[in-house]
Structure 1
């Protein structure tokens, strides 16, 4: 039987009206949303959507199932939060990659206000170092970029938000497209050995963008600071909790709309005693992301 995530995706498609719009809400690719809905329809042995132009409308059966799905998700969430009172004291430790620490810190700050007796420790690190710490129980969870390949069987991955890839240059650089911005200028690359670096390389190929290699660095913030100083140009994920799009010193140009985004989520063990607290952190991060991006 499909898990609760498929039901959440079904609700997102019903509310958003299309697989593409729902994909952004649940931090999945459009192909993954389509696969989940096909699986759900196969299990229920009935069609849930009909395609009309670029939209996906609920069938009559889909309309009947929607309120049941919403009640099921609400019941499941209530079930997960049972016993939370026992988790609002003591300590939890959560890791995050540098570029996701803003999202995590904002959510944890709200959690601490509501539960002042909960002692929270935040640590930063690279995803390849944080994931083993989660698996061994050294930390309770980590907010990281989606890993390539399959998630280890002992761990659970929950997508939280997605970040589109953009080309960035100094405001003084005149350019009407990403290709114009990047052409012939020194390219500042995020290190290829990291998942974000691999996604940037994929974005360059997807958009057929040629670059002039200059420096490879391991910090998105340092790369963008060098861009501000007009030391070069780059392709980076537009950070959910950054202000680059409104920075007067930067020129930010979106890549093609079908460029795969960077997906950030929480990695935690499938069995541990802090699930309810982590659920609240996840929901706070999603809520803040939704408020920033609008409906």
Structure 2
């Protein structure tokens, strides 16, 4: 059966007259009669009884009418929804992520974005801060998360929060640091970092501020890797405060000075400066602030 047949059936039922229903539907009476007959043949039941003043529903039609009205209502609802969506922003947005998704509030943010703009498709690319920043500069990403201070004028920042860092020690190295000073800390091996990892610049700034130059072991690019290597006893590293304290609680690492934060860095959302007024970037910024501001 077709929707137009159901629409004609409902119109005739409401008007109680073929001619009046035809006028309402802008059809000829023979066309209305033909549609009702076709529907009756498909359903296998008579829908109307004719009498001199018009038509009335059969008992079978009285049972069918509510279903026909419901189907037409669903059809109208779908049309209204489609019209509303036709003006919605659409397309794919590419976002660079770093570190732990929970730290970025990635789930709540993307849920908010999905709720506000249902036709947007999101693609995430996980990397390290320097790599994400470069991809944003090259405009291969619409935006991304970056930990640290952005050195580029052609990339704009949306500050989200400040991340504190603790010095994480292997348990077996902790006894060597009884002096509890930076000179003592500089005598134990530190885990080296890739130049693209924002922790590298944060660590270098910290060493310069404390006037120390520790011996480095290896070169690594992920916080999760640093954590595993600290636990394995290979060296010292700075870790985000929440991560450091979570693993210190089970004794797998030890925090220098009881977990005092030795430095901090801003967590930011970065995007091309040329896209400051881009509607898509505005959507990303607005929903990020909606998720971050209430608790920050």
TM-score (norm 1): 0.56
Deviations 1:128-162 (A, max 9, x none): 4433433454322111124453421xx42111111
Distance 1:225 1:108, change over 3 A: same
**RMSD between aligned alpha carbons?**
3.5
Instruction: Please state how far the C-alpha of 1:193 moved relative to its aligned partner.
Output: 5.3
Indicate conservation of the 8 Å contact 2:149/2:266, yes or no.
Answer: no
1:123 to 106, 122, 125: 125
Deviations 1:211-252 (A, max 9, x none): 232222122221111101222212x2416xx53212121212
What is the match of residue 140 of structure 1?
Answer: 142
Gaps of 5+ in 1: 1-84, 291-295
What is the match of residue 98 of structure 2?
Answer: 97
Gaps of 5+ in 2: 1-85
Alignment of 1:1-295 (within 5 A): 90-98=91-99, 102-111=103-112, 114-115=115-116, 117-152=119-154, 155-172=155-172, 173-174=174-175, 175=177, 177=180, 179=182, 182-192=185-195, 194-234=197-237, 236-238=238-240, 242-247=242-247, 248=250, 249-253=252-256, 260-268=263-271, 269-274=275-280, 275-287=282-294, 290=296
Deviations 1:97-151 (A, max 9, x none): 3457741523434325634554221112344443343345432211112445342
Give the structure with the larger helix fraction. 2
Indicate conservation of the 8 Å contact 2:191/2:219, yes or no.
Answer: yes
Structure 2 CA distance, aligned partners of 1:130 and 1:120?
16
TM-score (norm 2): 0.55
What secondary structure, in the 3-state scheme, does the structure 1 residue paired with 2:279 have? coil
Indicate conservation of the 8 Å contact 1:167/1:182, yes or no.
Answer: no
